[in-house]
Amino acid sequence: MSNLPESRTSRVSVRLIAIQILVFSLLLTLGGRLWYLQIRNGTEYATEARNNHVQQVIEPATRGSILDARGVPLADNQTRLVVSASRTELLKMKDDGKAVLGRLAKVLGMSEKEIRNKVRLCDSKTPQPCWNGSPYQPIPITDEATTQQALQIRERSEDFPGISAEPTAVRRYAAPGDANTAQVLGYLSPVTDEEIKKAEHSRSPLLRSDQIGRSGLERTYDDALRGKAAVTRYEVDNLGRVIGQAKSEKGKAGASVVTSIDARVQGLAEKQLDQAMKDARKEHDRNTGTNYKADSGAVVVMEAKTGRVVAMASNPTYDPNAWVGGISGKDYAHLTGKDSNYPLLNRAIQGQAAPGSIFKVISTAGAVNAGYDFNGHYPCTSSYSIGGQTFKNFESQSHGAISLGRALEVSCDTVFYRLSHDEWRKDGGDKPKKDAKNWFYKTAHQFGLGKETGIDLPNEVTGRVPDRKWKNAFWKANKAGWCEQAKAWPKKKDFGTKLAREGCLEGMKLHAYDSINYAIGQGDTLVTPIQMATIYGAISNGGTLYNPTVGKAVISPDGKHIQRVKPQSHGRLPVTQKTLHQMDGALAGVATRGTAAWRFGGWPQDKIPMHAKTGTAEVYGKQTTSWFATYTKDYTIVMTISQGGTGSGASGPAVRNIYNALYGVDEKGGIDPKAALLPRPEAKLPKIESDGAIQSQPIKPYAPPSPSPSASESPR
């Protein structure tokens, strides 16, 4: 029998029981946790554990080539020695890799600041150059390393931790025959984390190593061109030693895109546009007393029967190779700065301007649709007055009573002033009727203006048809600003304040002067060169409005699968075949006896009928914009030069030279089929070999003879 007091025995028993309960509780908690980890979420954690011990090696796919219609590479790849830096490894160092980058700068002959800028991450406040790709992806420092530089880095690897120097396939924009084709091709840059996340569940997911198209064909056909990177996964232990190979994914090279661009015509179009702008700058502008600035321009060469683009040039331009391997701060500032006039813009599809008299084909169709006789007699007076304002014909010319066809030939403004003014009054003037016909505006929409043409290039703009609906919406958007500026009236009576006051009070109304200016392609009307090329191409082919296309086919890497890009239509011109035939005859008259005749002296009109329309658009605060729209049965060419002067005066010689090359026409009007660049439109695809290689043809720059202009009617 215990000698311990009974009370003490009880206390010991209670303590033992408490300890037992505590131990049991701990065991129960531990068991529950083990059940949760191993049974309930066991599969999930096992998967994560496996993933934590899997490393993947990515081998980027070779990007597909972009070829011209004859198989000549416009964009392909070449092997270069690329020096890259691992930002992850650099940040593990005490000095964030500054010493390593300093040594690297000496080897590469670059400044330390330039290299540090290239490896910093882009954000809203960081200027270029910077890295806008994944921070875990090797960041290219240069793709122009020499063999000696690469060997120094690799042999002294202990001095360059986190730095690699490897031969890598990089993009090359070949510019065959000096065909730069920059805005059409576009450029590449690294994928961002946001883009990777967005594409996670798409048919074409992105990897951190991917480069994607940012503009032009590189963007439109990016999914096909990019291919699929090879991913090899290795199982490793906690020391990083490879213990096996996990499931891997085979890579696939990108497909090639064959375009309708002919590099020979493209190079010629670029040169002719550039020369036309240089020549325009030598001409004197009588209105401003200075030479023309000719600060930008564009030209489109298109197959009239298909809508395929043979050449598309925009000026100012740039070298797309500047983006390869990461763009420098200097180049980025140049490409995006106001001083260089934004060379990244493709002015053929993004340049909007008033079209001037090349718009009159639409006004002619609108007048006929409204019931006016094409062959009627309409007074072509030297001027036309409404409400105390006088609108003059070009150089105050007068041609008496003429038909609509003749009005197109001599580009008589006053004929179209009257017709548009009459229709405006019939529709109710300032107070439109509910059943207003709006023929001149309705016809423009039916011609495809005010919307995209559907070309297979990104960021096309719509232009503008300034009808009553647009006028009202524009007023609502700008009323507050106009009314605020108008408060300065009548103390301040400058032109800007006057316009603001008028906009504040009556900006929602379509005035008579709005309508008559619109009829000749002035005022608030905006079009793009590709829109006008589509319209004149439709007049040539019998009325079909084609979606312009640059891509012609997508060819798989092995050459066995070809996906053709077939021409598609988005409508027909809203005119009868009779009216279309009459307009066609009038436009032929423009080239033979009208405002463009002096530019087509000696042209073999009997063998290759030429049709044209000139345009000189006035822009407030700037010099006139030159437009020249032309077509044959095969091709349509539209050229425009901002602040370049008159239509045929600035653009005429360049357009004529392009036609000379297309058809092999010499100075005397003779035709040499062997000298023709494109003896027939809609050429076949280049020959494809069994291994997927495309048989291309040699190319060299083409320089056609320049015709001697003959005197004719006024250049307009």
The CA-to-CA distance between both ends of the chain, in Å, stands at 131
CB contact at 8 A, 136 and 119: no
The two counts, helices (H) then strands (E), for the chain are: 23, 25
123 to each of 329, 331, 431, how far by Cα in Å?
Answer: 15, 19, 52
CB contact at 8 A, 360 and 411: yes
3-state secondary structure 195-236: HHHHCCCCCCCCCCCCEEECCHHHHHCHHHHHCECEEEEEEE
Q: At what angle do helices 413-426 and 512-519 cross, to 10 degrees?
A: 140
pLDDT digits (tens, 9 = 90+) for 153-170: 988 999 999 999 888 788
pLDDT digits (tens, 9 = 90+) for 42-95: 565 555 555 556 666 667 788 999 999 999 999 999 888 889 998 888 988 999
Dihedral of the CA atoms 131, 136, 138, 139 (nearest 10)? Answer: 10
| Amino acid letter, residue 335 | L
Question: What rounded mean pLDDT belongs to the chain?
Answer: 88
Q: At what angle do helices 439-446 and 360-369 cross, to 10 degrees?
A: 120
- Residue ranges of the chain with pLDDT lower than 50? 1, 704-715
pLDDT digits (tens, 9 = 90+) for 285-306: 988 889 999 999 999 999 999 9
Q: At what angle do helices 577-592 and 529-541 cross, to 10 degrees?
A: 110
CB contact at 8 A, 334 and 661: no
- pTM of the predicted protein model: 0.83
